[in-house]
A and B are shown apart, each in its own frame.
Chain A
Amino acid sequence: DTEVTQTPKHLVMGMTNKKSLKCEQHMGHRAMYWYKQKAKKPPELMFVYSYEKLSINESVPSRFSPECPNSSLLNLHLHALQPEDSALYLCASSTQDSSSYEQYFGPGTRLTVT
């Protein structure tokens, strides 16, 4: 199983709403990532979890709150978002082996903030 799954596929939320994005992988990967991708742009790294601990936070606003409940799951909690936060949110996973090279990406959640 080389699949990263993400739910929901699409999400529309108001600026006062609270919602969560979910990501799951069963490849035994111990590194998981959240990216934000605007149209026709490359993914921008938001957070990295390594062995269920937050290892990298790329100066992301506090209205985005990541959580890694276990080695297979990654959540992104959203609160008080702005319209400019509308984007495709990608989850990815990989091994922690420094000689490894591949990140496996999920299909993404298309988020629209109204």
Chain B
Amino acid sequence: AQTVTQSQPEMSVQEAETVTLSCTYDTSESDYYLFWYKQPPSRQMILVIRQEAYKQQNATENRFSVNFQKAAKSFSLKISDSQLGDAAMYFCAYRRYNAGNMLTFGGGTRLMVKP
């Protein structure tokens, strides 16, 4: 079975600074997807960024980028120029490539942004 681990229960960052959230996973599969989801307080969970395991290039979405290390089974999220609206729970998630659409979530990291 796949497992996803987020070792940082809480992180804080100063507004406009950069922060990196860590995620490691365990799988015997070679093809899979990795995701970062954001859940603001009392708001909907939304997809921040995704990475296909077969792609070597790290995904980037505006201020959000990932450092995908397939051999190390590591998938960290970097948030640049942090904004107050980035404050949220962030969940790393794994999905097998051809096994339906079931997600395995990590335990989450609560990100606080200080003005």
Residues of A within 8 A of B (CB): 31, 40-43, 45, 48, 50, 55-56, 90, 94-96, 98, 100-103, 105-108
Q: Tell me, in angstroms, the Cα distance from A50 to B89 when the chains sit together.
A: 28
Interface residues on B, range: 20 to 34
Residues of B within 8 A of A (CB): 33, 35, 43-47, 50, 52, 89, 91, 95, 97-98, 100-103, 105-108, 110
Which of B44, B52, B98, B107 has its CB near the most chain A CB atoms (within 10 A)? B44
B78 nearest CB across to chain A (Å): 20
Task: Flag if A101 contacts B33 (CB, 8 Å).
Answer: yes
A sample of 18 cross-chain residue pairs with beta-carbon separation below 8 angstroms, ordered by A number, consists of A31-B100, A31-B101, A42-B91, A43-B105, A45-B102, A45-B103, A48-B102, A50-B100, A55-B100, A95-B101, A96-B101, A101-B50, A101-B52, A102-B50, A105-B44, A105-B45, A107-B43, A108-B44
B40 nearest CB across to chain A (Å): 11
Chain B, Cβ-Cβ closest to A45: B102
User: Which DSSP category, helix, strand, loop or mixed, fits chain A's interface?
Assistant: loop
* Known contacts A42-B107, A102-B47: A94-B101 contact under CB 8 Å: yes
Tell me which of A42, A48, A90, A102 contacts B106 (CB under 8 A): A42
Task: Flag if B102 contacts A107 (CB, 8 Å).
Answer: no
Tell me which of A56, A100, A101 contacts B35 (CB under 8 A): A101
Task: Flag if A41 contacts B108 (CB, 8 Å).
Answer: yes
